Amino acid sequence: MKGTTPAGTATEQEASKWVRSMFGRIAPRYDLTNHILSLNLDRLWRARTVQRVRPILERADARTLDICCGTGDLLLALNKRARHPVMGSDFCHPMLTAARTKIADRGLGCPLFEADALNLPIADASLDLVTVAFGFRNLANYQAGLAEMYRVLKPDGVAAILEFSQPDTALFGKLYGFYSRNILPIIGGALSGSRDAYRYLPESIGKFPSAPELAREMRSAGFRSVDFTRMTGGAVALHVGTK
Ligand SMILES: C[S@@+](CC[C@H](N)C(=O)[O-])C[C@H]1O[C@@H](n2cnc3c(N)ncnc32)[C@H](O)[C@@H]1O
């Protein structure tokens, strides 16, 4: 369970650099490609995540950070339900620029900052909720990512990780495997202009820990009351744990 290992990278630094530069290339077409490839299900997955953490968002004093916020889709969905502006961070400048435009277009004041999720410029025990959607899988070291989320949360603070996972049944696994290996790289490559990025996507999903494994890792990072909810036949899972 070390972290992502894009083809051709040998160290955590190389993996991290590869991921940042790949997202930089696809940033301008990221939202469109995402909605098309997921058949718009990504909106539903984010909505279910928001629903799950809504009691925290509705607290007037709750401080929430969406790490690996990318172009800001989860951040904006969370912010709709939040009484205090939700913050966002990402280490890819072009993705953050897209998020900034969307936030400004809506006249919102969500603070954004550029930071590596493995080294957040946030004091210990200062947040009530840390979320991450489809970013955790790209971290160069998953244990370090969990440790950093744990560090910045207050006691009783909650971490929510929405990420691709392994399908529940063999039949759906075969269909999903066929789609992600054969169709997704072609459509994703054509829409985004980066074949690499959409070859990396199914590879990184295939290597990512199963939902029970990730739950175990969250527990060993110190989280309690860890549970996960599978969505869309297990293609995606939402893990939630409390510090
Ligand atoms: C697939 S996008 C997801 C964006 C957004 N959360 C969403 O739901 O659409 C993954 C994002 O994670 C960011 N990311 C990956 N590794 C990161 C790291 N170590 N630190 C900060 N951001 C990272 C990438 O730059 C990218 O914007």
Q: What would the pLDDT profile of 130-151 be if each residue is shown by its tens digit?
A: 999 999 999 999 999 999 999 9
| Relative orientation angle of helices 184-192 and 30-37, to the nearest 10 degrees | 160
Percent of the chain's residues with pLDDT above 90: 80
Atom of ligand 1 nearest to the CA of 24: 25
User: What is the pairing mode between strands 127-133 and 153-164?
Assistant: parallel
Average pLDDT over residues 17-28: 95
Distance 153 CA to ligand 1 centre (A): 19
Mean pLDDT over all residues of the chain? 95
Which pTM value belongs to this model? 0.96
Residues with CB under 6 A from ligand 1: 16, 19-20, 23, 68-70, 73-74, 90-92, 95, 116-118, 133-135, 138-139
Residue type, 28: P
pLDDT of residue 177: 86
Average pLDDT over residues 102-112: 97
pLDDT of residue 192: 83
Q: What would the pLDDT profile of 50-88 be if each residue is shown by its tens digit?
A: 999 999 999 999 999 999 999 999 999 999 999 999 999
Task: Please indicate whether residue 220 or residue 182 has the higher confidence score (pLDDT).
Answer: 220
Of 9, 18, 68, the residue with max ligand 1 atoms within 8 A of its CB, to mutate for a pocket test, comes to 68
Residue from 8, 214, 23, 220 nearest 116 by CA: 23
Largest separation between any pair of C-alpha atoms in the chain? 47
